[in-house]
Structure 1
Amino acid sequence: MPAGQRVKIPLDMLSAEYLPEDTPERREFEEIQKKARELRTRTPKTRNLKGVVVVIDPGHGGTDPGTIDTPPVTLYEDEVVYDIACRLKALLETRSSARTYLTMLDESQQYAPVSTRKFVNDTDEYVLVTPKYHNANADRSLDLRWALANHWYRQERNAGTPSEKIVFLSIHCDSLDNTQVRGTSVYVPNAKKIGTIRTSNQGFRETKNVKPVTLSRAEAQTHEAMSRNFAAQIVAALKKSSPPIAILSHGDPIRNQIRREKGPFVPAVLKYNLIPTKVLVETGNIKSPGDQALMSDPAWRQRYAEALYTALCRYFE
Structure 2
Amino acid sequence: MYDDDTRKRRRLTKAVLLAAVPLAAAAALAGPLTGMFSGGPADGGPGGGRGRGASPAPAAPGTPAATGPGPSTSARSGAAPLAGKVVVIDPGHNPGNFQHTAEINETVDVGTHRKECDTTGTSTNAGYTEAAFTLDVSRRLRVVLQGKGATVEFTHDADRPFGPCVDERARIGNAAGGGEGADAVVSVHADGSAAGNRGHHVILPALVKAGAADTAPIVGPSRTLGERIQAAFARATGSAPANYLGGGTGLDVRDDLGGLNLSTVPKVFVECGNMRDPDDAALLADATWRQKAAQGIADGISTYLLG
Q: Normalising to structure 2: TM-score of the pair? A: 0.61
Aligned twin of 2:137: 84
Residue 306 (str. 1) matches residue 295 (str. 2) = yes
In 2, Cα distance between the equivalents of 1:227 and 1:255?
Answer: 12
Spell out the pairing of 1:30-179 with structure 2 (5 A cutoff).
Answer: 48-61=81-94, 62-64=96-98, 65-70=120-125, 72-73=126-127, 75-93=128-146, 95-106=147-158, 125-126=159-160, 134-135=161-162, 141-152=165-176, 155-157=178-180, 166-177=183-194, 179=195
Q: Is the 8 A contact 2:85 2:150 kept in 1?
A: yes
Determine what percentage of the aligned residue pairs are the same residue.
26
**Amino acid in structure 2 at the alignment position of 1:197:** A
Q: Is the 8 A contact 1:197 1:273 kept in 2?
A: no
Aligned twin of 1:226: 221
- Please list every run of 5 or more consecutive structure 2 residues that lacks an aligned counterpart in the other structure: 1-78, 99-119
Aligned twin of 2:238: 244
Quote the offset at 1:52 in angstroms.
Answer: 1.1
Quote the offset at 1:150 in angstroms.
Answer: 2.5
In 1, Cα distance between the equivalents of 2:302 and 2:290?
Answer: 19
Relative to 1, partners in 2 of residues 1:194 and 1:286: Cα closer, same or farther, differing over 3 Å?
Answer: farther
2:212 to 197, 203, 213: 197
Quote the offset at 1:147 in angstroms.
Answer: 2.5
Point out 4+ residue stretches in structure 1 off by more than 4 angstroms.
none
Residue 293 (str. 1) matches residue 293 (str. 2) = no
**Amino acid in structure 2 at the alignment position of 1:152:** A
Relative to 1, partners in 2 of residues 1:296 and 1:227: Cα closer, same or farther, differing over 3 Å?
Answer: same
Describe the superposition over 1:225-266 as per-residue Cα deviations: whole angstroms up to 9, x where unpaired.
11111111111102222x512321233221221xxxxxxx42
In 2, Cα distance between the equivalents of 1:148 and 1:91?
Answer: 21
Residue aligned with 1:50, SS: coil
Which structure: larger Rg?
A: 2
Residue aligned with 2:188, SS: strand
Aligned twin of 1:15: none
**Amino acid in structure 1 at the alignment position of 2:88:** V
Residue aligned with 2:81, SS: helix
Residue aligned with 2:170, SS: helix
Quote the offset at 1:97 in angstroms.
Answer: 1.5
Relative to 1, partners in 2 of residues 1:222 and 1:274: Cα closer, same or farther, differing over 3 Å?
Answer: closer
Q: Is the 8 A contact 2:86 2:176 kept in 1?
A: no
In 1, Cα distance between the equivalents of 2:292 and 2:253?
Answer: 26
Aligned twin of 2:51: none
Q: Is the 8 A contact 2:142 2:152 kept in 1?
A: yes
Residue 268 (str. 1) matches residue 258 (str. 2) = yes
Quote the offset at 1:182 in angstroms.
Answer: 1.1
- Please list every run of 5 or more consecutive structure 1 residues that lacks an aligned counterpart in the other structure: 1-45, 107-124, 127-133, 158-162, 199-214, 258-264
Residue aligned with 1:232, SS: helix
Quote the offset at 1:92 in angstroms.
Answer: 1.2
Aligned twin of 2:21: none
Quote the offset at 1:195 in angstroms.
Answer: 4.5
Relative to 1, partners in 2 of residues 1:184 and 1:194: Cα closer, same or farther, differing over 3 Å?
Answer: farther
Aligned length: 203
Q: Normalising to structure 1: TM-score of the pair? A: 0.59
